[in-house]
Amino acid sequence: MTAIVPDNLYSVLRAAFADQLEGVFLRLADGSVVTYGDIDDLSARLAAVLVEHGVGCGDRVVAQVGKSPMAVALYLGCLRIGAVYVALNEGYTFDEVAYFVADAEPRLIVARPGVPMPAGSTTVLTLDDAGGGTLADHVSVTARRQEIAAMGGRTAAMLYTSGTTGKPKGAMLTTENLVSNATALAELWGFSGDDVLLHALPIFHVHGQFIALHCAMLRGCEVRFLPRFEVGAVRRALPGATVMMGVPTFYSRLLAEPSFGVDDCVSMRLFISGSAPLTESVHHAFTARTGHRILERYGMTETGMITSNPLHGERIAGTVGYPLTDVVIRVVSETGDACPTGEIGVVEVAGPNVFAGYWGMPDKTAASSRPDGFFVTGDLGSLSADGRLTLSGRGTDLIISGGLNIYPKEIELLVDDVPGVIESAVIGVPHPDLGDGVVAVVVGEPGHDTEALVTAIRATLDGHLARFKHPKHLAVVPDLPRNAMGKVEKATLRRTYAATFTT
Ligand code: MCA
Ligand code: AMP
């Protein structure tokens, strides 16, 4: 039987929370609430503002904004009219945003007031963290609601993600991708209307925006909507909450508080971790301290969630569990053959969760999948006899710091351009707080002044690169280790600098 693909994601979510319109959707840190009815109304008004600004089905709306109910309503407003929501990390610099805007060619940009935007002739509306700005001004003068478009766009949202080489690519996520993933997860993780989700993630990634919010909306449950992860605020919000989703850094930061323990978690039924590897030591320490076994799951921007440890059944530290409903995974060798049980290969995935392709890059889309439609994740892993996946790193140099992806090449290209630098190699090494910490190893020209070189490199990065990507350690060395082919041996560098942040 062919599955019925819904046209419009908002109408799917709306139908799911239709009997909860009086119920709390977002509870903010100051205690104020936004009901499901409020968000339904606000998103309808925002949809009208978008239409007034010429945004139609399939048009991109780029948003680089803080975490607020208005930002959520903007996303939902886009869904209502079939516009494609493109969320950008708040930390991106003007240069970085310029690339995304040039690539996405949005009809409208929404940005924080006072932040210069490389907009050209594109209209820019503003939205501050309190929900004010010109976007809100238009909402308040706009009386009418824009009802859900009969047809949603095939692409509901687009998020940028990079490869090891080349520029970031816009991953086009369809209504089917997002509905199938959220439906499977809400079921698998046992979400009900009685749940209270503690939300401290940013909302410019799959994790905080789609996984967390869609699961809650599909069950009409309350979301404790914190502006960011801050240990004190999270501990204050935990009593009464039942589920939290986080990156591993959330858990190691909670554990770093000696007084954190069972008493903080009395109402909790589930802690979920993903976006980066959760170390076995954090997993076990969390169980010892709280009695909870963190449920680890695995996903990617292009695929949403792929696998999850079970809600009922064994959650094994160091493994990411079984494929979600309708998702198929396989582990293949370099020759493309299926690896035997237990053998490490590249993880490939197929299913309704796999994206529609990279925006405007058919060649890159084709190169990322096999002829039979499987998407090549680039992650290395192995399958147990009963189909449980264990990840064991990546086939690429990707660095994951605090759940954020950092691509060495992007930093190396900037560092190599600094006068006085011959070459550089950027690596990730263990960091007790962030998982990976970024280290740049730089070769300077003969006779250079090391201090001046480091200052020049930092100054260059400042203007061009989001702060979270900046190397936490910079080493200037006489040369880089190379193999017989002349290729820089990053594995050797990772060993050399392994203890940089841990001693
Ligand atoms: C902030 N900084 C960082 C990071 N975050 N540096 C390295 N790695 C980071 N992740 C830097 C800032 O630039 C700043 O630098 C300094 O740290 C303090 O900034 P602040 O905002 O105070 O940081 P924080 O609040 O301590 O944030 C750390 C964090 C946050 C809580 C770990 O980064 C976070 O919420 N991460 C979650 C990311 C996430 O949602 N990932 C999901 C994407 P300076 O002082 O130099 O200015 S992956 C995904 O969606 C896939 C599908 C999946 O599987 O889930
Ligand atoms: P992104 O491109 O931001 O979507 O990041 C996706 C990548 O994060 C995946 O390809 C994995 O390398 C990594 N990732 C996500 N979840 C996990 C996990 N539970 N354990 C290890 N790595 C993970």
Query: DSSP of 57-108, one letter per residue?
Result: TT-EEEEE--S-HHHHHHHHHHHHHT-EEEE--TT--HHHHHHHHHHH--SE
Q: In the beta sheet, which residues pair with residue 382?
A: 390
pLDDT above 70 coverage of the chain, percent: 96
The residues near 502 (Cβ < 8 Å, ≥ 6 apart) are 430, 431, 432
DSSP state of 351: S
What is the whole-number distance in angstroms between the Cα of residue 202 and the centre of ligand 1?
Answer: 9
Q: How far apart are CA 493 and CA 481, in angstroms?
A: 7
Nearest residue to 297 (alpha-carbon basis) of 429, 137, 418, 188 = 188
- Counting atoms of ligand 2 from 1, which one is nearest the CA of 404? 3
Query: CB of 238 within 8 A of CB of 264?
Result: yes
Q: How far apart are CA 219 and CA 490, in angstroms?
A: 46
For residues 333 and 195, membership in a common domain is answered with: no
Strand ranges inside 91-242, DSSP E:
108-111, 123-126, 155-161, 169-174, 196-199, 222-225
- pLDDT reading at 166 higher than 80: no
Query: CB of 454 within 8 A of CB of 474?
Result: yes
Q: Which domain, by its residues, includes 375?
A: 320-394
- Interval 280-291 mean pLDDT: 97
- For residue 170, the SS3 value is strand
> Would 376 be classed as within a structural domain?
yes
- pLDDT reading at 218 higher than 50: yes
For residues 418 and 472, membership in a common domain is answered with: yes
> Would 104 be classed as within a structural domain?
yes
Query: Does ligand 1 have an atom closer than 6 angstroms to the CB of 207?
Result: yes
Q: How far apart are CA 84 and CA 87, in angstroms?
A: 10
What is the whole-number distance in angstroms between the Cα of residue 134 and the centre of ligand 2?
Answer: 36
For residues 356 and 260, membership in a common domain is answered with: no
Mean pLDDT of the chain: 94
How far are the Cα atoms of 22, 134, 330, 335, 399 from residue 430, in angstroms, in the given order? 47, 43, 28, 31, 10
Boundary of a domain, candidates 342, 368, 394: 394
At 370, list the tokens.
């096999």
For residues 352 and 465, membership in a common domain is answered with: no
Boundary of a domain, candidates 340, 363, 394: 394
The pLDDT, as a whole number, for residue 334 is: 84
State the virtual CA torsion across 275, 277, 280, 285 in degrees, nearest 10. -40
Looking at ligand 1, which residue's alpha carbon is closest to its atom 5? Answer: 468
- Counting atoms of ligand 2 from 1, which one is nearest the CA of 296? 19
Q: Which of 133-147, 326-340, 374-388, 437-451 has the least mean pLDDT?
A: 133-147
CATH number at residue 360: 2.30.38.10
For residues 369 and 421, membership in a common domain is answered with: no
- pLDDT reading at 20 higher than 90: yes
> Would 447 be classed as within a structural domain?
yes
For residues 138 and 265, membership in a common domain is answered with: yes
- pLDDT reading at 1 higher than 50: no
> Would 131 be classed as within a structural domain?
yes
CATH number at residue 446: 3.30.300.30
How far are the Cα atoms of 342, 386, 388, 391 from residue 339, in angstroms, in the given order? 8, 14, 14, 14
Name the strand (E) or helix (H) holding 280.
Answer: helix 280-290
> Would 260 be classed as within a structural domain?
yes
> Would 487 be classed as within a structural domain?
yes
Query: Does ligand 1 have an atom closer than 6 angstroms to the CB of 92?
Result: no
What is the whole-number distance in angstroms between the Cα of residue 310 and the centre of ligand 2?
Answer: 18
For residues 123 and 234, membership in a common domain is answered with: yes
CATH number at residue 69: 3.40.50.12780
Residue of 209, 377, 401, 468 to mutate, ligand 1, most atoms within 8 A of C-beta = 468
For residues 412 and 383, membership in a common domain is answered with: no
Q: How confident is the model at residue 150 (pLDDT cuts 50, 70, 90)?
A: low
For residues 364 and 467, membership in a common domain is answered with: no
Q: How far apart are CA 367 and CA 481, in angstroms?
A: 31
- pLDDT reading at 317 higher than 70: yes
DSSP state of 369: B
Residue whose entry in the numeric block shows the structure tokens 């509306």: 125
- Interval 208-237 mean pLDDT: 98
Question: What are the phi and psi torsion angles at 501 (to 5°)?
Answer: -105, 0
Q: Which of 140-144, 269-273, 335-339, 388-392 has the least mean pLDDT?
A: 140-144
Count of structural domains, the chain: 3
Return the CA Rg of the chain: 23
Looking at ligand 2, which residue's alpha carbon is closest to its atom 5? Answer: 300
What is the whole-number distance in angstroms between the Cα of residue 96 and the centre of ligand 2?
Answer: 22
Query: Does ligand 1 have an atom closer than 6 angstroms to the CB of 181?
Result: no
Q: How confident is the model at residue 148 (pLDDT cuts 50, 70, 90)?
A: low
- Interval 35-49 mean pLDDT: 95
What is the whole-number distance in angstroms between the Cα of residue 276 and the centre of ligand 2?
Answer: 5
Q: How confident is the model at residue 478 (pLDDT cuts 50, 70, 90)?
A: very high
Q: Which of 55-69, 81-95, 151-165, 270-284 has the least mean pLDDT?
A: 151-165
Q: How confident is the model at residue 2 (pLDDT cuts 50, 70, 90)?
A: very low
The pLDDT, as a whole number, for residue 335 is: 85
What is the whole-number distance in angstroms between the Cα of residue 300 and the centre of ligand 2?
Answer: 5
- For residue 133, the SS3 value is coil
Residue whose entry in the numeric block shows the structure tokens 């007031």: 113
The residues near 143 (Cβ < 8 Å, ≥ 6 apart) are none
> Would 181 be classed as within a structural domain?
yes
- pLDDT reading at 60 higher than 90: yes
For residues 325 and 415, membership in a common domain is answered with: no
| Residue-wise pLDDT tens digits, 89-112 | 999 999 999 999 999 999 999 999
For 427, what's the count of Cα atoms within 13 Å in the CB-facing half-sphere? 21
First to last CA, the chain: 58
For residues 127 and 261, membership in a common domain is answered with: yes
For residues 230 and 372, membership in a common domain is answered with: no
**pTM as predicted:** 0.95
> Would 310 be classed as within a structural domain?
no
Looking at ligand 1, which residue's alpha carbon is closest to its atom 28? Answer: 402
The pLDDT, as a whole number, for residue 261 is: 98
The pLDDT, as a whole number, for residue 3 is: 52
What is the whole-number distance in angstroms between the Cα of residue 150 and the centre of ligand 1?
Answer: 38
- Interval 162-190 mean pLDDT: 91
- pLDDT reading at 165 higher than 70: no
Residue whose entry in the numeric block shows the structure tokens 């858990």: 251
